[in-house]
Structures are given as structure tokens and as C-alpha cells.
Amino acid sequence: MTIDWQKEVEKRKDDLLNDLIEILKVKSEREDDKITADAPFGPGPRDALLHMLAYGERDGFVVKNVDNYAGHIEYGEGTEILGIFGHMDVVPAGDGWDTDPYVPVIKDNKIYARGSSDDKGPSMAAYYGLKIIKELGLPVSKKIRFVVGSDEESTWKDMDYYFEHEVMPDFGFAPDAEFPIINGEKGNISITPQFATTNEGDYELVSFKAGLRANMVPQDAIAVVVTDSNESAVALAEAFEGFVAENPISGTAEVNGGTVNIKLIGKSAHGAHPEAGINAATYLAVFLNHYEFGAGAKNFLAAATLIHLDVYGEKLGVAHQDEKMGKLTMNAGLFDFEAGQEAASINLNFRYPQGTGQDTLEKGIQTTMGEFLTTLVSQEHHSGPHYVPMEDPLVSTLLAVYEDHTGEKGYEQIIGGGTYGRLLERGVAFGAMFPGYTDTMHQANEFMSLDDLYRAAVIYADAIYRLAK
């Protein structure tokens, strides 16, 4: 039986786009201050989860909501389960957008909105692949379960809870990365040095804040500094203007008596690719570290300066490279100093290859940064390196589908990003970014090409059918 997948997607492209637009309107950022029993990660992630599950109900699938943590949309019967894992939560939109991040805009054949490429767009493409199989009544020998998460960008507690109540699929993929395939992922752990919040120098650091999530390069950093006079404050502000002019950043320094309010703007990027961003926090620390701060403030700024431009952990003494998985990367994603509070902190998110791990990273930080910090706190639950061999039928089938629809040779890839694919021993990430695509995940003006959206849906439909028939 020959199926023209391209034709089937073409018939449904308007519906696909309309469904995507509606779910992109849901501001599904995690909000811890709004968590309730009914909304375990805040109202936005819950509402987006319910919205996606409602599509499944509308289209006649078997649908299950697992207490608003996660859910699934199911088709077919069989002893084996093929899992497809998407997520409806998004990272905070942040600043720097040309349009409202939750009012989808189509421009130059691209759809702009937070979540368009990570992960609502790819998830919708995969869902429509499954929808085509159902609507054509194609025979399958496996149960196909489209699992919808709502906390992928934060703690993955959605999946912890989901798999306390549901059976783990036997194999599957996450439409949440790149084509031709991602069959390996580095380990992922956050380690947080903490510091005293005391001040004893000529300058007082009242506060220093930067970052929205551990897996995002901080685009903005804000500090409040108190000096001994208006004259000193003006001099500091003028020096900041010179610093900005000499570096790939922008910013402002406002003087109010002896107080200076500083905002420095860099460039956000996905935490798995810190080299693609400009870390506003470390640049601001480098500037302030030239001034006479004391005690905890001095140590906090010195530590932040130490890791400036250190995206591979070389200055920290934890650099490591594996022949297959490549280099360790480090993103300093969250900075929090508030004078007088219990502790200040810098969150360091590591994506590490085989051959290193938590103990080695902690020892390196303690050795290099120990004179500055008061304690070191490591993420309680984290993921080690993950790899599915090329000869696994899951990998070979997905690569064959990619090759048949693109005419390009498939190849394996290992990334620093973490996807739900690693939940399964035989799990990978598959699309939806094509080679040569501009990656805007976790950045302002995130978009997905409409041509790529439809092309991905074609590939997903064929891939799901080949894996499940």
C-alpha cells in the first residue's frame, strides 16, 4: 500500500496551522507562585496541556489526563507501546521581541511566537502525523501513545508523576530537537555555589539579578550599587558607558544621589549552547569587580568574573571532551544576590559527556571557587549521558524515513540539550529542525518555518506508521 504522505498533509495544512496558532496563544510559562493542586506548575502549563488533550478528544482518540501533570493521546492496539513525547510548557519569553510572544504572527512564511519551535510547533506536526494515520484507518500492530508533558523546561516532575501512574513505552522519540536524528544526549546537572550576602567595602552591592531559567543564557542583568557620594556614583556610571562601548553589549546606568541602577543587556541562547549567547551577568560582574566591594559581595562578583566566557569549564578546571559526545559545556544561567538575605547564588548548568560526572564537577568547583563560596548545592535529580546505537532498528528506521523524504544522507548526532527521548532506554529525539535551520529556541523572536512545519508532519506521519505497522 503506497501512501502519499505529502498529499495527506497538504489536505490538512490549514487545520494544522490553525490548531498551532491557538495553542501558541496560551502563555504556558511555569509560575511557581501560582501553583495549586489543580495546576502543579501554574495555570499556563495546565491550560496548554488541557488544550492539546482537547484536540485529541475532538479527533476521536483515546485521551487520558493524569492529574494535570501530563497526559496522553492514544491510538491502536498491541503489546508494545510506541511513545511520542512532546511538551506544552515554554521558557519565559523575556525581552527583546519585535512582536507579542503570545500573539502568533506569520511573516516571511514563518510563524513567530514563544513555543513555535520549542516545542508546540514540532509537537503539533507529530500529532498531525498520528492524526493522518488514524483518519486513513491504517493498520498498526502496536499501541501508539502521544505523551504530552507540561514541565520539560524546568524539573521534569511532570514525567516523574506520569510514570508513577502509567506504563513506560517500549521505544519512541521526542519531536524536540533536530533532523536527521539525535540518538545521544550529554548528561545534564545544575550545581549552585552559594555566597554570603554581606558588604564591607567602599561600594555596597544592594542587589544583583540575572537569568530566567537555568537552561537559558541570561540576556539581562540588573544591579543596584550604593557609593559614598553622588560624585562617585556619577564616575561609576560614566565608566560603565565606556565599558559598554568596548564590549558586545548594551546597557544603562542611572544615578540617584549615591545610588547607581545598572542594567546590562547581552544575548539569550539555549543553555545547551552557551557559546551562542552573550552572558549579561558575567559581563556585569567583570565591570563591577574593578570596584572596592567587600565580604560576600566581593566574593560573589569574583566568582562570577572567574567564569566569564568559560563556556567549556576550562577556568573551573572541569573541562572534558569525549570522542563521541564532544565537549562539556557550562551555562551560568541564574544569578541572585540580595544584601542581607540568607544566601546569594550562581546556578551553573553543565551538559557533560561520558567520562566525567557530578563528583568531578563538584570537586573542580570547590577547588577553583572554594575561597569565595560558603557552600555548594547540587541538583537532587539529574540525567546522565544517554546513547542509542546506530544499529538499533529505531534509529535505522527513522534515518531511512528522513533519507526517503529529503534525499539527504542521515547521520547520528549527539547534543547537549536534554529531551524527553532520554526517558526511554530506546528513546531518541527526531526533528523538527532541519540542517541549516536558524535555531531560535529560548531566544527572543522564536519562530518556525511553515514549510518546515509541514515537511516535518510528512516525515512524522511516515515514521510513526513504519514504526507501528
How confident is the model over 400-457, as pLDDT tens digits? 999 999 999 999 999 988 899 999 999 999 999 999 999 999 999 999 999 999 999 9
Does 182 share its domain with 193? no
Domain end (from 378, 400, 432): 378
User: Helix %, strand %, coil % for the chain, to 5?
Assistant: 35, 25, 40
Strands (E), 137-274: 143-149, 171-174, 177-178, 184-185, 187-195, 204-210, 220-226, 250-256, 259-265
Q: Are 159 and 358 in contact (CB under 8 A)?
A: no
Does 146 share its domain with 208? no
Q: Are 201 and 297 in contact (CB under 8 A)?
A: yes
Provide the pLDDT for residue 113. Answer: 98
pLDDT in tens, 143-184: 999 999 999 999 999 999 999 999 999 999 999 999 999 999
Residue with cell 501512501: 3
Q: Are 39 and 60 in contact (CB under 8 A)?
A: no
CATH code of residue 253? 3.30.70.360
Does 104 share its domain with 213? no
Q: Write phi, then psi, for 141 (nearest 5 degrees).
A: -105, 0
Domain end (from 323, 350, 378): 378
Does 372 share its domain with 393? no
Does 101 share its domain with 182? yes
Cβ-proximal residues to 236 (8 Å cutoff; 6+ apart), any chain:
203, 225, 227, 253, 260, 291
CATH code of residue 145? 3.40.630.10
**Domain range enclosing 357:** 188-378
Does 443 share its domain with 313? no
pTM of the predicted model as reported, rounded to 2 decimal places: 0.85
Q: Are 338 and 329 in contact (CB under 8 A)?
A: no
Domain end (from 362, 378, 394): 378
Whole-angstrom Cα distance, residue 424 to residue 171? 6
pLDDT in tens, 37-79: 999 999 999 999 999 999 999 999 999 999 999 999 999 999 9
Does 113 share its domain with 214? no
Provide the pLDDT for residue 344. Answer: 98
Burial of residue 263 (number of CB atoms within 10 Å: 0-12, 13-18, 19+):
middle
Does 365 share its domain with 234? yes
Whole-angstrom Cα distance, residue 439 to residue 451? 15
Residue 206: count of CB within 10 angstroms of its CB = 17
Work out the average pLDDT over 186-214: 96
Give the cell for residue 337.
Answer: 544576590
* Counted domains in the chain: 2
Does 323 share its domain with 455? no
Whole-angstrom Cα distance, residue 353 to residue 351? 7
Does 126 share its domain with 250? no
Does 287 share its domain with 315? yes
Tell me: pLDDT of 367 over 90. Answer: yes
Beta strands 427-429; 171-174: pairing state: parallel
Known catalytic residues are 89, 152
Does 349 share its domain with 400? no
